Structure 1
């Protein structure tokens, strides 16, 4: 996977989050995908997509401030510092989030296997 492909897939996730595009998220997230929130709560793919669909989690804007690519062994990863304007379980704020995502090949493309959020 090229660095450009990793960045493109990561940006596609951000765009789909803001658009509430569940079909796009479904196509780019691994079936076992998990999102670890800044609180440490690990949310399954299905639970996260349901929260987006119900409006419990609404992403209004995500701005990538900087990003870096790395490898964990043979697995490509991308770390993005973002300004994330979101309403999460009723609380709206702009969070300074570091989102670290890992990728793996699936079929002819790649998927995101997990993302871990923390503050910066």
Structure 2
């Protein structure tokens, strides 16, 4: 997986989150995808997508201010710092989030296997 492909997948993730496009998110996440929130709560793909669909989680703007690509063994990873304007379970703020994402192949394409969010 090239660095450009990693960045493109991250951008697709951010765009789909802001658009609330659950179908697009479904297509770029593994079935076993988990999102670990900055609180430590690990959310399954289905629960996260449901929260987006029901607008319990609304992502209004995501700006990536820094991105670093690395690997763990043979698995590509991406660490980004974002400014994420979102309403999460009724609380709106712009969070300074570090998002660490790992990828895995699916056929001829790559998808996001998991993401861990923390603050910076």
Q: How far apart, CA to CA, are the structure 2 residues paired with 1:106 and 1:65?
A: 28
Give 4+ residue runs of structure 1 displaced > 3 Å after superposition.
none
Structure 1 residue 32 corresponds to structure 2 residue 49:
no
Aligned to 2:9: 9
For 1:55-106, what per-residue CA distance to the aligned partner results, in whole angstroms no more than 9, with x for missing partners?
A: 0000000000000000011100000000000000000000000000000000
TM-score, normalised via structure 1 length:
0.99
Q: SS state of the match for residue 33, structure 1?
A: strand
Superposition pairs for residues 48-63 of structure 1, below 5 Å? 48-63=48-63
Structure 1 residue 65 corresponds to structure 2 residue 78:
no
TM-score, normalised via structure 2 length:
0.99
Instruction: Specify every segment of 5 or more residues in structure 1 that has no aligned partner in the other structure, as ranges.
Output: none
- The structural deviation recorded for 1:108 is 1.3
Instruction: Specify every segment of 5 or more residues in structure 2 that has no aligned partner in the other structure, as ranges.
Output: none
